[in-house]
Amino acid sequence: MEAVLVMAAIAVEHGNGPGAERLCAVAAGTGHRSCWLAVLEARVALLKQDQDRARERALAASALGTDDPHIANQLGVALSRTGRHAEAVGPFRQAVDGVPDNTDYRYNLAVALQFAGDLAAAEYEFRDLVARDPLHAKGWVALVQLAREPEPDWDARLETLFAASKDIETRLTIGHALARLAEGRGEWDASLAWLDRAKAAKAREVRHDRVFAEALAASAIAAARAGDFAAEPRGDERPVFIVGMPRSGTTLVERILSSHPEVRSVGELSDFAILLKRALRTPGQLVLEPALLDVAAEASSLLAVGDTYLERVGRLAGGAPHFIDKMPFNAFFAPAILRALPGARVICLRRSPFDVLFANYRQLFATGFSYYSYAYDFGDTAHFVAGFERMADAFAASLPPARFLPVRYEDVVADQRGQTERLLDFCGLVWDDACMDFHRNAEPVATASAVQVRSPIYASSVEKWRRYGEGAERAIAALALYGLKP
């Protein structure tokens, strides 16, 4: 049986989902049960974008357990990729204890600890990682972002690594680390210069398509203007979607609302978009695409998609009266969400496009996702942000206010109490003091804001773009092309 599982694992590594699925079925058909088989079944489900099945098999694998540190690491990855970050810490720790010199296993553990809120332990693991492997680029950028007190020699070490590497991904990652170090010293334009150097080759490689981005926003706007939406929530009112541009305050609002005893966050889920794609059967592999938005807008009913979504995601929420799905780019699906789920509410975060421009350009997004291709070029980022601004304006004008609520990040920072009352009222919730102490929320945070939301609200990120000199002038010129002014 081990030979069958080995072949299944090889198939998974090569992206051969159907082959791996057949081999797993052979093993399961003999009555075999093991952590490794369940992990492989979870990985097959992830290849098929079946998050529900992947979660179920990952949790089954966790219950079975394993003595093998390599399988434990795979289990941790499966749990993490299905949103079970707290449960992933144990398997990752087991993997590191079993193979101490495997720095990729240590990196996985450190990231899981950071998401789970154990920031001191995460920093310790990242420091240990780069001590063991000074060339581990992802470890370096994570450490630089997390460390409260950078070491004096980090700049020189990273500059040497940057200059010596010819790998696009390594230079991208190390350049981001150097940019963060410069930013920490208040050297804003030097930080921007490092980002430009780090991203240039990647921008040429991905060749972001502005025409596609414009079509995406246009299709979403057309769907909002043409849709037939229930004016008030009706039916199952559990779902609350929090959407917006990345780095616009979505995690902050999620933490405020999920601190309420009647609300549970189920994380950043792709389930709605995947189910919509599967139901409408648009061609191609892309899920976030103009064609899918167009077909969804023309569909006579999307209620079947909503029912399947509630069945799948409702299990994650348990018995919570409300649950939050916080996938920022679900913003493009807001019209479809409101049609498919008549009881759903959508909260859309807005933030100064100038701050969003810099926040997205300085963020190292997962390079495997084409949806972030705009973030490798300053001008492309400005173009994408401007498109989102047009779309959000159209949504605010077209979507029912009882079900679609624009919220400005700056307003939340300036008036946390008032905006929290507004959010709770929109969701039909009574006041709870816990929402003001969102930073005490112990639930995992698997976003770039994992560190920030562990602290009370602060205003230092408002108008942060003005700290740049030359960079601020670049931003003014770039966004002026689309009619956006400070």
In this structure, the dihedral spanned by the alpha carbons of residues 424, 426, 428 and 430, taken in order and rounded to 10 degrees, is: 20
- 370 or 282, higher pLDDT: 282
For the cut 90, the answer to whether the pLDDT of residue 186 exceeds it is: yes
Q: Which residues of 27-56 are buried (b: 16+ CB within 10 A; e: fewer)?
A: beeeeeebbbbbbbbbbbbbbebbbbbbbb
Q: Does 236 score more than 90 pLDDT?
A: yes
Confidence of residue 460 (pLDDT cuts 50, 70, 90): confident
> Mean pLDDT throughout 13-25?
88
Spatial separation of the C-alpha atoms in residues 427 and 425, rounded to whole Å: 5
**pLDDT of res. 455:** 58
| pTM (predicted TM-score) | 0.88
pLDDT at 449 over 80: no
pLDDT at site 454: 46
DSSP state of 388: H
DSSP string, 152-173: TTHHHHHHHHHHH---HHHHHH
- The DSSP element (H or E) to which 264 belongs, if any, is strand 263-265
Report, as an integer, the average pLDDT of 308-332. 93
Span 416-429, average pLDDT? 97
Domains of the chain, first to last: 1-104 (1.25.40.10), 134-206 (no CATH), 210-480 (3.40.50.300)
**What is residue 368's predicted lDDT score, i.e. its pLDDT?**
76
Q: Which of the four pLDDT bands, split at 50, 70 and 90, describes residue 441?
A: low
Averaged over 297-303, what is the pLDDT? 97
Binned at pLDDT 50, 70 and 90, residue 456 comes out as low
Point out which residues pair with 325 in neighbouring strands: 241
Please state the rounded mean pLDDT for residues 204-226.
97
- What does the block give as tokens for 348? 């859309």
Is the pLDDT reported for residue 138 higher than 80?
yes
| Mean pLDDT, rounded, for 113-138 | 94
Mean pLDDT score across all residues of the chain: 93
Is the confidence at residue 446, as pLDDT, over 60? no
- pLDDT tops 80 at residue 448: no
Q: How confident is the model at residue 218 (pLDDT cuts 50, 70, 90)?
A: very high
Q: Residue 367 pLDDT more than 80? A: no
pLDDT of residue 6: 81
Residue 451 has pLDDT above 70, yes or no: no
Report the pLDDT value the prediction gives residue 99, as an integer from 0 to 100: 96
User: What integer is the mean pLDDT of 126-153?
Assistant: 95
The residue ranking higher by pLDDT, 52 or 435, is 435
Cβ neighbour number for residue 106 with a 10 Å cutoff: 25
